[in-house]
Amino acid sequence: MNRLRFAPSPTGALHIGGIRTALYNYLLARQNGGRFILRIEDTDQTRYVPGAEEYILRSLDWLGLTPDEGPAQGGPFAPYRQSDRMDLYKEYALNLVQKGKAYYAWDTPEELESMRQRLTDRGIPTPKYDAAVRGEMKNSLNATAETTLQMLEKGVPYTIRLKVEPNQTITIKDKIRGEVEFDSTELDDKVLLKADGYPTYHLANVVDDHLMDVTDVIRGEEWLPSTAHHVLLYRAFGWEDTMPTFSHLPLILKPDGHGKLSKRDGQKFGFPVFPLAWPSDDPESAIEGFDSYGFEPEAVINFLAFLGWNPGTEQEIFSLGELIKAFDPERIHKGGARFDYDKALWFNQQYVQKLTFKDAESRLRQYGSEEGYNLESSNLESVFNLMKARVHRLSEIIPQGYYFFSDQLAFDDAEINKKWLPEIGPVISKISENIQSLETFNHETAGAAAKEIIQGSGIKMGVIMPLLRAALTGTTNGPDVFAIAEVLGKEKTIARLKQFAKRG
RNA sequence: GGCCCCUUCGUCUAUCGGUUAGGACGGCAGAUUUUCAUUCUGUAAAGAGGGGUUCGAUUCCCCUAGGGGCUGCCA
């Protein structure tokens, strides 16, 4: 049984790059009867954002990627929040110091900065805390045992750093990229335990993956360079024989291809990059989500699955269940893929067409109230059935069909005037009268009643039809005129026709 | 700058040495329609460049170029 984990940091809303990582982990766990674990990596106090953890949970639920183990559901390796496992990390870090694999360092941020400056001045291209300079720094490698003890007793803030031996070749086996080699001389002595007592990602991640029996690590490509450090850590702990496999996913790029997609790109490019909206009192920091844009969670999943993977067949529409069956990690791509909003819309359209009114009703009412319409009295189901095929997102039904919910029509005067003739007014009056006399009112009878008048009037269909639509909706395009009339009902149809007939 | 990863139509991609290089989104054209959208049909559009290996390279290797990531007591 494999065990996979999704390990986000609660530093804000989770963007779709993270969601895709979660999805691939979920898919692999599910198709092997394994476990999908959520672990909250909240080891940076300075970046902690209240509500972010809850946001992550809600997002995964919305998408159907509910974890088997995690802070909310518990599990055999609880707790699943790193801030609740603090004692563990220090213990393991000290264990490394004891073994001579790590050491105390008392350098202040200022001293580190001046060290980097010094190395830069010496012409060293990559200034870093490593075997070459640690001899000139304040650490336990350069201190006697007594001095070290004194420093610890005095409570001088310290970090614990990994002692990286130079001139070693570290080969990591990545399932997506094959073997990748690093020269340990290029690696720095990574901080493992910070001065505030919190572990860094590197320590906490390795310790927890080991303790939680994680079998496979699937994460973003940005972690590839530090994987060499992680391998060194597994070795230092003596855990190399049970080390998980690594798969580094290609990044999701901005639409213009310049850089990885970031949290701010949603606003910049005008599409959502987060699963769920995150409202805020401050409009500047309020966040839109795929949900508030009117997307179907299944469509988001489907779209994201194909950003970095494909089944090798021509099928593109996959439910989560189908993805579990079809997903093949061997087919994950190496190169980054740009986010294409048009394609996302297309995927969503495919799913909107499958929606029943029952699926859509509560959300439609919500979108409606957000736009300030009272949908209670309207025949929402008929509107839905009429508009569904015309939209890419459920939310578009409300603004596109506003004339079903409001009597304040926004007339497109330019288009209307282009078609308008003096004899139009009276003809429309007659049409409304003919409709008035109808016993049964529906799109067929209304259409017949109108056409009867039009045929006798000498006005071309191409002229009168757009105007009839404008009478009912304000604009010259939209669904079938008489279908609109039927949904509107006899009374409103007649009222709008009469009103429109008065136009000069 | 250094280290690492990547490179097929505008975009997402198929191809695991021999194909008219296929599909999807988007584009364009046409059909349908009372309009717009949908739908359907058709169409344009790609192997970054240079060296090898091979009977034969998009496919394997090298170099160059370009893009991306990392380079924090952030993840």
Query: Which tens digit of pLDDT belongs to each residue from A32-79?
Result: 999 999 999 999 999 999 999 999 999 999 999 999 999 999 999 999
Note the residue count of chain A. Answer: 504
- Token pair, residue A462, equals 């191409």
Between the CA of A346 and the C1' of B30, what is the distance in angstroms?
23
Q: Which nucleotide is nearest to A7 (CA to C1')?
A: B75
Which pLDDT band, with edges at 50, 70 and 90, does A280 fall under?
confident
Q: How far is the CA of A471 from the C1' of B17 (A)?
A: 66
How far is residue A228 from each of residues A19, A246, A249, A334, A503, measured CA to CA in Å?
A: 25, 11, 16, 19, 76
Nucleotide with C1' nearest the A253 CA? B68
Q: Rounded to an integer, what distance in angstroms lies between the CA atom of residue A320 and that of residue A323? A: 5
> For A107-153, what is each residue's pLDDT tens digit?
999 999 999 999 999 989 889 999 999 999 999 999 999 999 999 99
Nearest nt to the CA of A342 via C1' is B25
Whether residue A79 has a cis bond before it, omega within 30° of 0: yes
Query: Which residues, in sequence order, are CB contacts of A138 under 8 Å at separation 6+?
Result: A105, A106, A107, A111
Distance A27 CA to B7 C1' (A): 28
Write the pLDDT tens digit of every residue in A468-480: 999 999 999 999 9
Counting Cα atoms < 13 Å in the Cβ hemisphere of A113 gives 3
> How is residue A354 written in tokens?
């499958």
Average pLDDT, chain A: 95
| Contact (CB, 8 A) for A6 and A68 | no
Q: How far is the CA of A290 from the C1' of B50 (A)?
A: 46
Confidence band for A378, pLDDT divided at 50, 70 and 90: confident
Does A263 participate in catalysis according to the annotation?
Answer: yes
At residue A343, the 3 state secondary structure works out as helix
Choosing from A138, A175, A260, A263, the catalytic residue is A263
Q: What is the pLDDT of residues A224-249, one digit of tens each?
A: 999 999 999 999 999 999 999 999 99
Tell me which residue of A237, A212, A246 sits closest to A82, measured CA to CA: A212
In this prediction, residues A86-113 reach a mean pLDDT of: 97
Beta bridge partners, A357, equal: none
pLDDT score of A504 more than 70: no
CB atoms under 10 Å from CB of A445, counted, come to 17
- Whether A306 has a pLDDT exceeding 90, the answer reads yes
pLDDT at site A23:
98
Q: Identify the three-state secondary structure at position A393.
A: coil
Residues 6+ apart with CB under 8 A from A73: A67
CA distance linking residue A338 with residue A150, whole number of Å: 55
The pLDDT value given to residue A406: 93
Beta strands A159-162; A102-105: pairing state: antiparallel
Confidence at residue A376, expressed as pLDDT on a 0 to 100 scale: 80
Instruction: Identify whether the C-beta of residue A86 lies closer than 8 Å to the C-beta of residue A44.
Output: no
**Separate counts of helices (H) and strands (E) for chain A:** 20, 11
* Contact between A143 and A106 (Cβ < 8 Å): no
| Proportion of chain A above pLDDT 70, given as a percent | 100
pLDDT reported for residue A281: 84
pLDDT higher than threshold 80 for residue A103? yes
Q: Provide the β-strand partners of residue A252.
A: A337
Query: Distance between CA A5 and CA A29 in Å, rounded?
Result: 9
Read off the pLDDT of each residue in A424-439 and give the average, rounded to a whole number. 95
Q: What is the ipTM of this complex?
A: 0.95
Amino acid at position A436, single letter: Q
Question: Which helix H or strand E contains A172, and what residues bound it?
Answer: strand A169-174
Angle at A8 between CA A39 and CA A208, to 5 degrees: 40
C-beta atoms surrounding A447 within 10 Å: 17
Positions of strand B less than 7 angstroms from a protein CB: 1-8, 10-15, 23-26, 33-39, 67-75
Residues 6+ apart with CB under 8 A from A262: A15, A254, A273
Whose CA is closest to A12, among A44, A61, A48? A48
What is the model's pLDDT at position A27?
98
pLDDT band, residue A286 (cuts 50/70/90): confident
Alpha-carbon torsion A431, A437, A441, A447, what sign?
negative
In angstroms, the CA A395 to CA A374 distance is 15
Q: Residue A490 pLDDT > 80, yes or no?
A: yes
pLDDT at A458 over 90: no
